[in-house]
């Protein structure tokens, strides 16, 4: 984890016999953050900005690095059920939640199962729905560092890119491989989407939902954002130009403004 170590701490909580590690920081109404398929990237500027008004709770998914794997979690729907129990047992529901990429898919599966567990939902370039135009990038055709590079449009023009995952020390490579192995285990077939999710999300109609996408996302095409917006009636889709799969660091001011205004 890169900077601002004084701003957060780690806690462990038992969820279904799994010691879930949760990064916690900030003050105010709880905001649960579900990280992407490479793991928690570290405490970044957007975390610090949102932590001024919210207590951020960032669980490290089971099987993603330092949280032990739960053998019974076999797919993303199981992971969604795991987090539903977490929200209930921690007294967080109805929760504000923001999910990134794979974490957004987990959040969407949660909403498809029980939208009442949310107050407001933010989905940032979630996988989980097959893009009507284009394909989800096959990240297993490359090594983890190349996957990270592909996740932004222009690494050289992204100030915090070099800070992700602590700047890429040896430990980060090990955690990335743990995360990639677990992602493959949970989402290999069909690859990174659930064919039934667009229909199942009809139950979430009216759930206050903000969807954020980069127009030049090479990991999950922006057409999937339109599909998510259509699946969750009343959802709002915001797209950022000259932005890839990580709008929170590629367009941080716009990202923080939109999320802050939405959460209220």
Domain ranges of the chain: 5-263
Q: For 237-261, b where at least 16 C-beta lie within 10 A, e where not — what string?
A: bbbbeebbbbbbbbbbebbbebbee
- pTM given for the model: 0.96
Q: pLDDT tens digits for 149-207?
A: 999 999 999 999 999 998 766 668 888 999 999 999 999 999 999 999 999 999 999 99
Q: pLDDT tens digits for 34-60?
A: 999 999 999 999 999 999 999 999 999
- At 173 the pLDDT is 84
- At 2 the pLDDT is 42
Helical residues (DSSP H) of 23-131, grouped into ranges: 45-50, 76-89, 102-113
- At 18 the pLDDT is 98
CB 117 within 8 A of CB 88: yes
**Residues near 142 by Cβ (< 8 Å), separated by ≥ 6?**
150
**Regarding the domain with residue range 5-263, which homologous superfamily does it belong to in the CATH classification?**
Alpha/Beta hydrolase fold, catalytic domain (3.40.50.1820)
Q: pLDDT tens digits for 205-242?
A: 999 999 999 999 999 999 999 999 999 999 999 999 99
CB 60 within 8 A of CB 67: yes
Q: What is the mean pLDDT of the chain?
A: 95
Residue 53 has φ and ψ, to the nearest 5°, of -120, -10
């Amino acid at each position: 984890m890169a900077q601002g170590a004084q701003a957060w701490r780690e806690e462990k909580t038992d969820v279904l016999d799994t010691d879930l590690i949760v990064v916690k920081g900030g003050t105010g109404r709880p905001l649960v953050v579900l990280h992407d398929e490479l793991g928690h990237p570290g405490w970044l500027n957007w975390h610090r900005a949102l932590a001024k008004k919210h207590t951020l709770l960032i669980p490290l998914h089971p099987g993603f690095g330092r949280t032990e794997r739960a053998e019974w979690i076999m797919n993303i729907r199981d992971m969604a059920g795991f987090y539903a129990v977490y929200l209930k047992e921690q007294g967080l529901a109805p929760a504000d939640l923001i999910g990134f990429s794979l974490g957004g898919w987990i959040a969407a599966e949660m909403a498809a199962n029980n939208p009442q567990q949310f107050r407001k939902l933010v989905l940032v370039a979630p996988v989980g729905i097959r893009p009507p135009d284009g394909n989800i990038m096959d990240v297993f055709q490359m090594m983890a560092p190349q996957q990270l590079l592909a996740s932004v449009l222009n690494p050289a023009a992204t100030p915090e890119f070099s800070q992700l995952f602590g700047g890429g020390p040896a430990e980060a490579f090990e955690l990335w491989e743990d995360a990639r192995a677990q992602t493959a285990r949970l989402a290999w077939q069909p690859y990174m989407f659930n064919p039934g999710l667009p229909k199942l999300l009809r139950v979430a109609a009216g759930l206050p939902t903000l969807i954020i996408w980069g127009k030049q996302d090479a990991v999950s095409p922006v057409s999937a954002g339109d599909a998510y917006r259509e699946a969750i009636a009343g959802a709002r889709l915001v797209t950022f130009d000259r932005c890839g799969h990580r709008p929170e660091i590629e367009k941080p001011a716009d990202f923080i403004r939109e999320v802050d205004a939405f959460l209220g």
